[in-house]
Structure 1
Amino acid sequence: MNEAMIEMHHVFKTYPSQISALSDITLEILPGEFAFIVGPSGSGKSTLLRILFCAERPTSGEVVVHGIHITQPDFKKIYQLRRTMGIVSQDFKLLRDRTVNENVAFALEITGHIREEAKSKASEILRRVGLEEREGDSILALSAGEQQRVAIARALVNSPPLLLADEPTGNLDARMTLDVMEIFTDLHQKGTTIVFATQFTGLIKRYSYRAIRLLDGRKADSHKVEEVKATG
């Protein structure tokens, strides 16, 4: 039996304003699994991913990622863990003073790749997301959809064993959404564990991956997790 890539046990997250973002969440995601986290805006999807990426700590409960207890502050282990993850966040977190290629290559350079190798790999992944003609452009010259594709390319360029994606197709048109999903599917088939947050049930119906639904928004006593069977 495979050890889980992700384990969450009775996880709660309450902000200082007493807003409950997550309440008693328990789940497991296995290595190589593709799991949708589905729910409307405000249901806690982003909070869940930020906890998995160690950007936030839960108020209570236990979280284990890749065998590391991230609720126990061992900063060296957490730093090493984060370097094995790719993350696509809703606010992109791109470097505004760098070009498209430089933004993607930077993710490789900070892990020890030489600059020319990093730029070459960045070019390759940018072609996969349809941005080969924008490599030398400033991030500020790109549309929101193009910036989202840069963020996706940056998350993928290191071939991380775990990919956390928060609404990665939210600013994309239908054609580009399918192109990006093809990339994610290819990564999944090669063994990458993918956690993909979305509010679009159409994706759940189109792809036969596991779906975990967060229900009832921020209500402190009614956050639940349930399996959703993909249909259609």
Structure 2
Amino acid sequence: MLDGKTALVTGGSSGIGLAAARTLRDHGARVAIMGRSPEKLEAARLALGEDVLAIHGDVASLDDLARMRQKLEAGFGTLDILFANAGIAHGTPITTTDEATYSRMMDVNVKGVFFTVQAVLPLMREGGSIVLNTSWLNQVGTPGRAILSASKAAVRSFARTMSAELLERGIRVNAVSPGSIETPIHRGKDQSEADFRAYAERVGGQVPLGRMGRPEEIAAAVLFLASDASSYMLGAEIVVDGGRAEL
């Protein structure tokens, strides 16, 4: 399905990003992953295979993004697929959220997505596909999630505006909107497995399907949007949330 194509996944060392990188690789793409933790990045590279290009960096840093593009160009030459997945998530109550927390979340989730796309555009081939990772939270009002929800609503908007701007180059931009997915982002520091299972059951009980999602279920949507199977989709959003934002 993706034979001969190249792909970059940001936030590719764990969770949805790692699952997406594996799925894209398993369907024929040469894959690069970018992540902030050298240890997690190396572990992901070993898990995915020696041919995977691992790039250390923070998407909120324009210097890191410039180095990423240089390594990507040296390793692949051109790029066909970008999954702009890197993001952070935590509670931001109106009365207690400080400026530093606000700035960091917007820097990673909004600035990071915008400038990741900008960085790789010189390498993107005509007919390429950009997939942005937003969230079911962009559609609902959830207490304590104002900044996260706003950041993901901005990413949803990027899928539309970037599509319009890149149309003449034949580059499609779409978004995938995950619900509550069993990934490390949901695990508390030093949280036991029993405590996490209890958390997962509680959160899963709020989902119409009765469970949290799996990273592979998001990766399947990313594969579809990255491939020619979605060639007539532009500026769209695929919601993969077990019905949580729709029912």
TM normalised by structure 1 equals: 0.34
TM normalised by structure 2 equals: 0.32
- Higher normalized helix content (fraction of residues): 2
